[in-house]
Structure 1
Amino acid sequence: MRMDWGRGNFAARARSDTLPAMQWNVTLTARASFDAGRQAQELLRDAGCRVTVADPFGPLDVTALRRVLRGEQAVLASSDAYSALMFASPELADLKVVSRWGVGLDCVDLPAATRAGVVICNTPGLLDEAVADYAWALLFAVARRVDQGQALLRAGEWSVAWGNDIHGKTLGIIGCGRIGRAVARRAAGFGMRVLGHDPALASGRVDGIEAATLERVLAESDFVTLHAALTPENRGLVNAARLRLMKPTAYLVNTARGALVDEAALIGALSRRELAGAAIDAFAVEPLPADSPLRSCPRMLITPHQAFNSVETGEKVSLLAAQAIVDCLQGRRPQYVANPDVLASPALRTTLS
């Protein structure tokens, strides 16, 4: 089932002379672009787009994408599976633009998109502060046992859950890009020592982060927070051997990608009390299956990949993702193109200046 949000009126618009004599069909698979994207939807309709909302929302698999994107020119996308097989599908022959709601592109085969002439856009920079805030929210909640205290009180008990201090401890950041550095800035207010590991991080101290090896970050930190992009090289980065490097009093926080962590190894470490706790917002398989052992793992706080879900940030990201589609429709290069080589390709499915 798909919900039609109507179409814009070309003839009545003051900007109609700048628009191509065509109408684009645009599907929203990113739930956030629906929940916090009314202005983005209006922007698309005002530009002459017929906007359709996928039901269910993404992430969608190949079969579902073929169904909902048949005859569509653009998609405001969740972390759907945009593989080489998808871009070669006849059902997607009209697809010109995939505009990702968010930053991550591990779900998109960029070389295949370029070969197919499809422009891939994303929204870097807008999620940084919201995700950094949420990483700290999880860190505080798991360290001070906030979820356990609430559960006891709701169960009718008046009992306390003992946690651990944050102030003055050592914070380890794996992935020191924009979000990792935003997390580090917040640590200064808590008098924390900050260690960081990132292949691009220079030696010494940068933005308050002391560069260190991955092994040192894991071994010396009281709190380890993950902010690395997922690549083939770092899939399963935090595995059983690396979890054993961590202190038994340490906590792991993941607001990045679930596949960075060996989830079975993490469950084992927590069950054996080899870690004090973990707060996880991203999973290897999403949505998290109802029978996943992560749901019942002791000393683990889990949330449904909502680190970026603040209303203000959602509106900004939705607008930027929608603007990329409008730019392509109106023949302009979008601000952020993830596969810029496509712009010079004879296979390019739209015309951009």
Structure 2
Amino acid sequence: VITTGAVDRPVAEATIGWMIALTHHMFVKDRLVRTGQWNDRTNYMGCELRDRTLGVIGLGGIGRTLVSLLNGFGMRPPIAFDPFASAEVFDRSGVRSVPFDELLATADFVSIHCPLTEETRGLIGASELRRMKRGAYLINTARGGIVDEEALFDALQSGHLAGAALDCFENEPVTEPHPLCKLENVLLAPHSIAWTNELFRDIGRTSCQSMLDLSLGRSPHGVVNRELLQKASFREKWSRVTGIPVESLK
């Protein structure tokens, strides 16, 4: 059983926070005050989210929540690439489905919310970064390995990309100074951007509810291998442990 949905809002909120922090140079301006470089503030003119385009890679729960929370910022209609999402999901979310290359070329913010699979490993490499809109921002709160970090460093250092934010890396934990740490237009987190009190509360509640459901003969929400519930060996063991007739397990 997985606790689906618990991470949707905290990851989406953190993504928006990073979008604002990057475009307004918040962390850089904080450093200017702390290091007595007040007069350098004129070197860091920010920009608003208004009239910008968000491109989402992976329109699952997190991607849909992100789009929903961004309503009210005056952004252009969001676009997304997800070959597994139905037309109904796109319509219900108010998101336009576009080919991968169009998303890269159009979006001012490319936010990654897909799983790491054989198909998505290295999805964003040097070629894809070059095809991104000049001055765009890349945010990865999904998994390391989806983005080529060396190629990302080059794209940021050259000025092709305006900034990036990463919560995950190819090799974790990061035990040595990462090359991206040298760049001031990058925000980094130790794969914990979604960690909130509410997240772990919801995970606990969902887990307990799943155990309660199973003990009462109800099929828990979020079962990954649902076919197991129909196997005779599992049903007999479950009935023996719970004392509930096998027929009660739906």
TM-score range, shorter chain: 0.7 to 0.9
| Aligned partner (choices 70, 73, 81) of residue 197 of structure 1 | 81
- Give the counterpart of 1:166 among 31, 37, 49: 49
Letter in 2 for 1:188: N
The separation in 2 between residues aligned to 1:182 and 1:331, in whole angstroms, is 32
Q: Which amino acid aligns with 2:37?
A: E
Distance 1:198 1:321 in 2: 29
TM, length-normalised to structure 2: 0.83
Alignment match, 2:142: 256
Q: Distance in 1 between matches of 2:176 and 2:9?
A: 31
- For the Cα contact (< 8 Å) 1:131–1:179, is it kept in 2? yes
| 1:98 match | none
CA offset digits 1:24-50 (Å, max 9, x no partner): xxxxxxxxxxxxxxxxxxxxxxxxxxx
CA distance in 1, matches of 2:222, 2:20: 34
Contact 1:270 1:298 (C-alpha < 8 Å) held by counterparts: no
Correspondence for 1:19: none
Q: More displaced, 323-332 or 121-130?
A: 323-332
In the other structure, the counterpart of 2:229 is 343
**If the length of structure 1 is used for normalisation, what is the TM-score?**
0.60
Q: 1:147: which partner in 2?
A: 27
Q: Confirm or deny that 1:187 pairs with 2:73.
A: no
Higher relative strand content: 1
Instruction: Mark the CA change 1:202 to 1:191 in structure 2 (over 3 Å): closer, same or farther.
Output: farther
Decide whether the 8 Å contact of 1:271 with 1:298 is kept in 2: no
AA aligned to 1:288 is V
Shift of 1:298: 4.3
Shift of 1:292: 2.6
Deviation of 1:124 after TM superposition, in Å, equals 0.5
Q: What runs of 5+ residues in structure 1 fail to find an aligned partner?
A: 1-120
Structure 1 residue 177 and structure 2 residue 57: aligned? no
Shift in Å at residue 126 of structure 1? 2.1
Distance 1:283 1:348 in 2: 38
Structure 2 runs not aligned, ≥5 long: 240-248
Which residue, out of 161, 181, 188, partners 1:302?
188
Look up the SS of the partner of 2:70 in the other structure: helix
Cα distance in structure 1, aligned partners of 2:69 and 2:171: 30
Percentage identity across aligned positions?
A: 36
Q: Is the 8 A contact 1:202 1:211 kept in 2?
A: no
Out of 128, 137, 151, the residue aligned to residue 265 of structure 1 is 151
CA shift digits 1:312-341 (9 cap, x unpaired): 222111232344456667876433211123
The alpha-carbon distance between structure 1 residues 276 and 319, as it changes in their structure 2 partners (threshold 3 A), is same
1:134 corresponds to 2:19: no
AA paired with 2:80?
Answer: G
The AA in structure 1 aligned to 2:51 is G
- Pick which of 161-170 and 207-216 moved more: 161-170
- Most deviating of 144-153 and 328-337: 328-337
Query: How far is the alpha carbon of 1:200 from its aligned partner?
Result: 3.0
Distance in 2, Cα, partners of 1:176 & 1:235: 17
Instruction: Please say if residues 175 and 227 of structure 1, whose CA atoms lie closer than 8 Å, have aligned partners that are also in contact.
Output: yes
Name the residue aligned to 2:245: none
